[in-house]
Amino acid sequence: MRRQSVLYAAAIAMAAVLPFSLSLSYVPLSVALVVALSMRRLPKDFLLFVLLYVWRGITLLANGLPIKPLRDLYDKTGYVAFSPLRLTARRFNALMLTLALSSSAVALLGILAAFTGLFRTGWIYTSCLGNCQLRVKRTTEIKAVVLTNRERNRFVGGPRLTYDSPATLEPGEYTFHSYAGAIVKVRRKDVVLGEGWVGAYGERRFFRFNSFVGFYDHKMHSGAVFGILSVLFSSLGLFYSPLYLIFALLTLIATLLSGAKAYIFATLSAVLGVAYLRVGRLRELPKVLAGISLVGAAVLLHSPLREGFLWSAKARMSFWRIGVETFTKSPIFGIGYDNISQILEPYHAKGIVDNAAHLHSSYLNALAETGVVGFILSIAIMLYFIILFLRWAFEEEGFRRAYLLGVFLSLLVVALVGLVESNYDTAILNLLLTFLMGIGRALKWNI
Among candidates 367, 370, 337, 340, which has minimal Cα distance to 355?
A: 340
The Cβ of residue 115 has, within 10 Å, a number of other Cβ atoms equal to 10
Quote the pLDDT of residue 349: 75
More confident residue, 198 or 383: 383
Distance CA 245, CA 254 (A): 14
Distance CA 213, CA 236 (A): 25
> Hey, what domains does the chain have and what are their CATH numbers?
2-116+211-445 (no CATH), 120-204 (2.60.120.1030)
Work out the pLDDT band at 272, boundaries 50, 70, 90. Answer: confident
Q: 3-state DSSP call for residue 156?
A: strand
Q: Express each pLDDT in 184-194 by its tens digit.
A: 888 889 999 99
Q: Express each pLDDT in 149-202 by its tens digit.
A: 555 566 766 777 776 678 888 898 988 887 667 788 888 899 999 988 888 888
Q: Where are the beta strands (DSSP E) in 35-190?
A: 120-136, 140-147, 153-156, 167-169, 172-187
pTM, to two decimals: 0.88
Given a contact cutoff of 8 angstroms between Cβ atoms, the answer to whether 9 and 34 are in contact is no
